[in-house]
Amino acid sequence: MVEVKHLVVAKFKEGVAVEETLQGMTQLVSTMDMVKSFEWGTEMLGEEMLRQGFTHVFIMTFNNGEDLASYLNHPSHIDFIGPFQATLENALVFDFPSVVIKPPA
């Protein structure tokens, strides 16, 4: 079975309370059994030219594509995504089957 990743790279609008958005996202994924794992982080080393203003990355792992589809179509996700998108200046979303070359220790 191949895991599926849901990657979101975000550039938030000026003045957005990102902490509130992170709390909402954490609450959302903690109630959804189809989300195998959730990670997020902030950019720390890239030059502005390379990161183009993007500051946050969110990664969710699912057991399969069906679990990802279930998450994307879940009423709680649909309720969350509108307000989340309103906080964004720009975003990149990428869904992909994970090919693990070196597993975690």
- The 10s digit of each residue's pLDDT in 36-93 is 999 999 988 877 767 788 999 999 999 999 999 999 999 999 999 999 999 999 999 9
For the chain, the structural domain boundaries read 4-97
What pTM, to 2 d.p., does this model score?
0.89
The DSSP line for 62-74 is ESSHHHHHHHHHS
Task: Tell me which of 3.40.1440.10, 3.30.70.100, 3.30.365.10, 3.90.550.10 is the CATH number of domain 4-97.
Answer: 3.30.70.100
Quick: pLDDT tens for 1-17.
789 999 999 999 999 99
Cα distance between residue 65 and residue 34, in whole Å: 10
Structure tokens at 41: 């982080």
